[in-house]
């Protein structure tokens, strides 16, 4: 369902229930709170050019999404789709359009865990990495430790 028709879901339910369960359309429209005229107008509609374009764009998005194992979000998908379109001399799609289609169809990028790097402290001043962090101060200098001046010899 890509269409911008607000009550499309209701119309689809009415259509399904009237054909399979043989409920009267008048009753179903009354329950769904839509007019019969609007339902029949929806039933006789033709697919718009924009709708067809959205469907082909969605196929491209799904294809690219599967190629990259779901790691691309809407920004990178937009960049890649538009780059391919420009190579063929076609106009680019708006980022918001691709974002909307991906949101409607629940296409989301996979958020990977950040890689943590454990830093190994070199043995400076003769201490091992596991020992507590004591600052190394060259001899002949003064340092303040917990409000006390300490002379280093």
pLDDT digits (tens, 9 = 90+) for 71-82: 999 999 999 999
Cα distances (angstroms) measured from residue 45 to each of 5, 49, 51, 77, 101: 11, 12, 12, 31, 21
Query: Two tokens at 62?
Result: 């799904």
Q: What is the pLDDT of residue 101?
A: 93
Tally Cβ neighbours within 10 Å of residue 77: 23
The pTM score is 0.58
């Amino acid at each position: 369902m890509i269409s911008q028709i607000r009550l499309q879901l209701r119309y689809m339910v009415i259509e399904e229930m009237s054909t399979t369960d043989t409920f009267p359309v008048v009753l179903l429209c009354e329950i769904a709170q839509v007019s019969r005229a609007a339902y029949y107008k929806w039933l006789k509609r033709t697919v718009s050019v924009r709708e067809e374009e959205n469907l082909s764009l969605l196929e491209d998005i799904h294809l690219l999404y599967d190629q990259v194992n779901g790691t691309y979000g809407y920004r990178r998908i937009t960049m890649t789709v538009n780059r391919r379109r420009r190579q063929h001399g076609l106009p680019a799609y708006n980022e918001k359009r691709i974002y909307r289609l991906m949101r409607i169809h629940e296409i989301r990028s996979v958020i990977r865990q950040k890689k943590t790097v454990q830093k190994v402290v070199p043995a400076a001043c003769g201490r091992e990495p596991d020992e507590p962090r004591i600052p190394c101060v060259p001899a002949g200098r003064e340092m303040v430790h917990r409000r006390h001046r300490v002379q280093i010899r």
